[in-house]
């Protein structure tokens, strides 16, 4: 199916109203994770990170081989999410304890950051930076901050309350091609440059699984996939196959589609 394949080749721009060309029967799972899954993350190299309901982290390679298991997740509290964009440095974020744990490619701990020790007190979202550091948004003083692996502050924006009328409370940060995207499902997507200068607010609310490819922003709701690329006035919409609808998460990597639904993670190949 050419439409989604183009997404995975990082070149698609949806035509408005375009629907999936294949019937739902064309989408049959080729594999399934044989245990319940709470959430997952897959990076562009095809490495898959899975968090189980028991708060265990597992990692699989692009061919489905097991790479490692991190059993010490609970040592740091309830794991909020995994930032695995950098295959050599996986970030685990524990919002309740305001702690970042760094893992190597085999899920061995390489360091921890207690954000409070760095005078950073209220963070909900982090991500890897383009230069192998870490972005955080500190709601204690409403600044975008970049820190190193020891938690040292490398740069910070101004207090956004000084330059914006509506302040984001982002649940996700994305670093992509010279820009930072802060996503607040109730307020939209706030776009900044690497110096923390505000560029634009996009009023796309309540999207799931937000990701960006070639400056095109993709997101989902229960029945549709959305794609937006400036200067489009509105995002294009694509109807999801019924087997993908109402999914908790949908992810893409290479020729694979990952669909988490009702606690079961299934892997599909492109038709």
Predicted confidence (pLDDT) per residue in 167-209, tens digit: 999 999 999 999 999 999 999 999 999 999 999 999 999 999 8
DSSP H helical ranges for the chain:
2-8
Close Cβ partners of 77 (under 8 Å, ≥ 6 residues apart): 94, 96, 97, 99
pLDDT score of 253: 86
Residue 144 lies in a domain: yes
Match 């028991």 to its residue by tokens.
Answer: 54
> How high is the pLDDT of residue 23?
59
Residues 6+ apart with CB under 8 A from 65: none
Q: Is residue 50 part of a domain?
A: yes
- Counting the structural domains of the chain, the total is 1
CB-based burial, 226-262: b 16+ in 10 Å, e otherwise: bbbbeeeeebbbbebbebbbebbbbbbbeebbbbbbe
Give the residues across from 216 on adjacent strands. 213
Show the domain range for 79: 34-216+248-269
- Lowest-pLDDT range of 47-51, 62-66, 149-153: 62-66
Question: Could you tell me if residue 230 is inside a domain?
Answer: no
Residue 1 belongs to some domain of the structure: no
| Peptide bond just before 231 cis, omega within 30 deg | yes
Residue 267 CA to residue 250 CA, distance in Å, equals: 10
Domain assignment of residue 84, yes or no: yes
Residue 58 lies in a domain: yes
Which residues are registered as beta bridge partners of 259? 250, 266
* Predicted local distance difference test score (pLDDT) of residue 182: 97
What rounded mean pLDDT belongs to the chain? 88
Most confident range, picked from 5-14, 25-34, 82-91, 127-136: 127-136
pTM of the model: 0.87
Residue 3 DSSP SS3: helix
Would you say residue 15 lies in a domain? no
State how far the Cα of 128 lies from the Cα of 95, in Å rounded to an integer: 16
Residue 192, domain member (yes or no): yes
CATH number at residue 211: 2.120.10.30
């Amino acid at each position: 199916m050419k439409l989604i394949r183009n997404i995975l080749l990082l070149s698609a721009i949806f035509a408005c109203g375009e629907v999936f060309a294949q019937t739902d029967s064309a989408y049959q799972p080729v594999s399934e994770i044989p245990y319940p899954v709470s959430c997952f993350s897959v990076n562009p190299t095809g490495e898959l990170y899975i968090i189980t309901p028991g708060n265990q982290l597992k990692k699989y390679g692009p061919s489905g081989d097991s790479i490692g298991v991190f059993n010490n997740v609970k040592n740091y509290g309830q794991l909020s999410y995994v930032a695995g964009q950098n295959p050599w440095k996986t970030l685990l974020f524990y919002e309740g304890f305001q702690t970042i744990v760094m893992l190597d490619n085999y899920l061995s701990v390489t360091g921890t950051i207690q954000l409070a020790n760095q005078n950073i007190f209220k963070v909900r979202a982090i991500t890897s930076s383009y230069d192998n550091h870490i972005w955080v948004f500190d709601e204690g003083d409403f600044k975008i901050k970049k820190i190193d692996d020891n938690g040292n502050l490398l740069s910070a924006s101004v207090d956004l309350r000084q330059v914006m009328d509506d302040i984001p409370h982002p649940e996700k940060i994305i670093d992509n091609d010279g820009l930072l995207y802060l996503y607040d499902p109730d307020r939209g997507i706030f776009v900044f440059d690497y110096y923390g200068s505000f560029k634009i607010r996009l009023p796309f609310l309540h999207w799931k699984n937000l990701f960006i490819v070639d400056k095109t922003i993709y997101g989902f709701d229960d029945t549709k996939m959305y794609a937006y690329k400036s200067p489009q006035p509105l995002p294009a919409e694509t109807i999801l196959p019924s087997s993908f609808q109402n999914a908790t998460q949908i992810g893409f990597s290479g020729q694979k589609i990952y669909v988490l639904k009702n606690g079961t993670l299934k892997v599909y190949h492109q038709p």
